[in-house]
Structures are given as C-alpha cells and as structure tokens.
Structure 1
Amino acid sequence: MIEAFSSLNPVIQAFLATLFTWGMTAAGAALVFFVRDANQKFLDSMLAFAGGVMIAASYWSLLSPAIEMAEEGPVPAWIPAVVGFLLGGALLLMVDKMLPMLDTDKYLHDIKDNRAKNRTALLVFSMTLHNIPEGLAIGVTFGALASSVTESTLAGAVALAIGIGIQNFPEGTAVSMPLHRDGMGKGKSFMYGQFSGMVEPISAVVGALAVILIQPVLPYALSFAAGAMIFVVAKEIIPGSLEEGNTDVASISLMIGFAVMMTLDVALG
C-alpha cells in the first residue's frame, strides 16, 4: 500500500491525504453520537500535541525545504523564506480582522436559532477559512515532491497530514458537542462539526497544482504555508489548549508532538 501511494501523482497524494484530515474532523464530530461529553483534559492534550506537530512541520517540512531550494535562486536564500513566512501570517491576520475565526461562544446561540440563517452561514464560512491554510500547507508540501531541487520528503508530507488530522479531531468534537448540548439534534450537530474539513481537499489540490505548475514560486509557497500554520498554532491551538487550565498537560503534549514530528521527518525523511 505504501509503495502504491508513493507512486501516485503528488496532486492525488495531497487529495488523499486531506481526505484523511477531513475524515478526522468527521470522526471527532461523530463523538456526539456516542458520548454525552468529552474529557476536556484529553481534548486539550490532543490539541497541544497537534500544535507541537505543526510547529515542527513548519520548519522541517516547509521552511527548511524552502531555504534549500532558494539557495539555487538569484536572491539570498533567506529572502523567500522570510517574505513567504510573513505573508502567510499577514494574510490570516487580515482574514481574522475581517471575519474572526470560529468562536463558539459568539456563534452557537445564533446557530440554534433557525431565524439566524445569516449567522449560520457566517459560522460555516469561519470554519472554512480556518482550514484553508492547513489544506494549502499539505498541498504545497506534496506538490514540492514533484520538484527535483528540493529536499521535501514523502515522509515529511505524510507526517504533516497526520499532525493536521490529529488537530482536526478535537476541532470537530469542539463544534458538535456544544451544539448538541445546547439543544441541536445529533445529526445536525455532526453536520456542522465535520463541515470545516470539507475545504481541505480542495485547497490541497490547489496548492499542489500551483507549486507544480509555477515552480519558481515554490520557496515562497512553502514559506507562506509555514507562516499560515504558525499563525493558526499561535492564534488558536495553543490558547485553546490552555484556556481550561490544563497548562502542564498541554505543555508536555506540545513538546511530545514536536518530538514526534521531528523524529518522523528527520529519521524517516
């Protein structure tokens, strides 16, 4: 199976990898059918673990290959890395200012109210925006495999997809469980909980195609994805894992996640 996957076109690999991340979002949302409430410490540890994976992946799977590839270009290697990285964070900051990312306290009541259809649409749009950079990061990483002048590895790309998938599990749960607890039906709660993962396969294919068709932008694209990832980690994942007071568990889980991703990418890549 591994050999069959490695022989596929990078665009197909990216699509399949993000089907997994979408599936993890749906799996997390599906807990609404089986449990009354999720253990908060467990969810916080999973979220922090995924944050550690994503921080490590931002360097080993994205920034390091970008710098290595830029060394063959006409400008100093650090320029594409810095420019792309800051642009990735700046874009998400602008999006966050125009439309804040998912805030359940703000939106849950309005979703339950069938008259607030515009609020429901706003929530769906917020969740979609939250997952676009993750899908792009996966797509860009797999797309980089088609380049002969970068050290991007299949192991690193797969590890990145696994890390994002792990992060998506508690995200799906964190949406569907409160919705059901506040009176929404299980089926509808699940639908909203898993919806955010739908955009990842689309954005992954776009990212992979972009870097394959326009290879000169690859260092910038890899760095852009890293900046977007770090912004999401700093803005949402780390604060989300700490807000219930499970600081020790979250801190240790983040370090373990970082170590796991580092091991996967360095040892296997």
Structure 2
Amino acid sequence: MHYKTLLEINPILLALFAALFTWGVTALGASMVFFFKKINQKVLNSMLGFAAGVMIAASFWSLLAPAIEMSEKQGGIPWVPAVVGFLAGGAFLLAIDKILPHLHLGQKLDKAEGIKTSWKRSVLLVLAITLHNIPEGLAVGVAFGALSNNPDTGALAGAVALALGIGLQNFPEGAAVSIPLRREGFSRLKAFNYGQLSGIVEPIAAVIGAYLVLIMTPILPYALSFAAGAMIFVVVEELIPESQTGDESDLSTVGAMLGFATMMLLDVALG
C-alpha cells in the first residue's frame, strides 16, 4: 500500500495495526520455545542488549528529535516539552514499577517488587515483562497519532520506521521471555502463551496514545517526549541490568551498539 493511501486512514487505526504487528512479532519470538528448551546466556545477553539499543535509538530519533522540531515550529522554547515530557515519562514508569507487583526473570519470589501480593510466580513474571511493553505501545501510538497534526509521507515513514524497529527488537525479546519461562518449569505451550501475552498491552497502549494525541494536539511534543522517557526508564531499569548477567557483558554491549545502529538506519533511511 502506498504511503499516500495510508495517510487517508484514521491515525488511531494505523496505530492499532502497527501495534498488532509488534505484538505479532513478540508472539513469533515467543514461538521459539517450541524449538529450544533453553537459551545460552551469551545469546540472551546479546538479544537483551540489542533490544536496549533499539529502544535508546528510537527514543531520540523517532521521539525526542521530532518533539524538539515540533516545539520550534510552534514558536515555543524547544527544550521545554522535551525535558518536561521526558522526565514525566520516567516518573510514570517509576510509579508503576513501585505499585505493580512483578518479578524479574531469574529472581526468587521474595525479590518481587511493587505492592506485596499472594499472586503466583508466573503471574508476577508476566507482569514484569508487560511493564516493558507499555512504553513501546505508547511510542507507536503517539508516533501515528502525530499524523493528525503533520499528515505527510515523511512523518508516516518515521512512524513506520519506529514500528519496524520496535517489532524487530520484540522478536528476541519474545524469545528471551518464553524460553526462560520454559526453564522455570513451564510447558512449551504455557511458556509461549505467557510470552506472547506480555505483548498484548502494546496495541492497547498504542490506541490510548494515538487517541490522546488526536484530542489534545498541543500536547504532542510532550507526548512524544513522555514516550521517550518511559522507554529509557525501561532500558536503564530493566534491559541493561538483565543483559549484564554472567561474565560476557561485552556481548550485551555489542548487541546494544548493533541495535542502536539498526534503529538509526531504519529511522534515517525511511523517515
């Protein structure tokens, strides 16, 4: 389908379709559990590092840079929406991190974070992974919602690049979820279901993000920066520490470099 044809579609629908794609790639990655019972720690570190690199690059190239540019065009102080939105996004994820009960992979049950509950270990594990996907869905939704304010092929290409980049890092992320769950004692089918289920929040967050941008256009630079801040929080709080497990931390660093370069290539080439 041609870009000009896509621009005629409601931005909320475009956001939904894009986030369904990223969810589908998560499920595809989670399906690797049917072929592998365990994942090498070096490979896992590399995959998590790659995901971190993609999210860092997307935060700047697809979210913060456009937010600053939009603020300049609106005649405001360019850095204000970027800084305020960025910090608000981080604060939002920090609040969820403190409230939502969750457990990171490889941790004992008594290490669960958030409000204390009697929920099962499997539920807490999935909630931790779901937390990763909220800012990704918001980022996709806000990027496509921005088309209502700037309906040109360049903006659409940038939103598509963002969806492709997030989808790309969702594949290893899906595998990095389901395969460790298999090692935790889950059946292959159950590990797959939990792995793909963690991505269902992305279409929901994408629709919410796109809708809010459509009804409150002036907040767009803040919304883009908010999504960037939320993504960086996840990277620093979750992905980077988890990618540094074991003695081969250099592999996660290389993975992060490759992920950043890949996302930068997609955004600059397509956007």
Distance 1:48 1:221, change over 3 A: same
TM-score (norm 1): 0.87
Partner of residue 252, structure 2: 250
Deviation at 1:173, TM superposition (A): 2.4
Task: State which of 196, 202, 205 in structure 1 corresponds to 2:204.
Answer: 202
Partner of residue 113, structure 1: none
- Check conservation: 2:126, 2:198, Cα contact below 8 A: yes
Q: Which moved more, 1:39-48 or 1:127-136?
A: 39-48
**What are the ranges of 5 or more consecutive residues in structure 2 without an aligned counterpart?**
111-117
Partner of residue 155, structure 2: 153
**For residue 66 of structure 2, what is the amino acid of its counterpart?**
P
Deviation at 1:69, TM superposition (A): 1.2
Mapped partners of 1:86, 1:152: distance in 2: 27
Task: State which of 213, 216, 222 in structure 2 corresponds to 1:214.
Answer: 216
**What are the ranges of 5 or more consecutive residues in structure 1 without an aligned counterpart?**
110-115
- Check conservation: 1:19, 1:201, Cα contact below 8 A: yes
Secondary structure of the residue aligned to 2:148 is coil
- Check conservation: 2:37, 2:182, Cα contact below 8 A: no
Secondary structure of the residue aligned to 2:200 is helix
Partner of residue 191, structure 1: 193
Deviation at 1:135, TM superposition (A): 0.3
Partner of residue 114, structure 2: none
**Number of matched pairs:** 264
Identity over the aligned pairs, expressed in percent?
A: 59
Mapped partners of 1:21, 1:102: distance in 2: 23
**For residue 210 of structure 1, what is the amino acid of its counterpart?**
L
TM-score (norm 2): 0.86
Distance 1:101 1:147, change over 3 A: farther
Mapped partners of 2:235, 2:2: distance in 1: 30
Partner of residue 71, structure 1: 72
- Check conservation: 2:102, 2:124, Cα contact below 8 A: no
- Check conservation: 2:165, 2:266, Cα contact below 8 A: no
Secondary structure of the residue aligned to 2:198 is helix
- Aligned positions of 1:102-251 closer than 5 A: 102-106=103-107, 117=119, 119-148=121-150, 153-251=155-253
Partner of residue 112, structure 1: none
Deviation at 1:205, TM superposition (A): 0.9
CA RMSD of aligned residues (A): 2.6
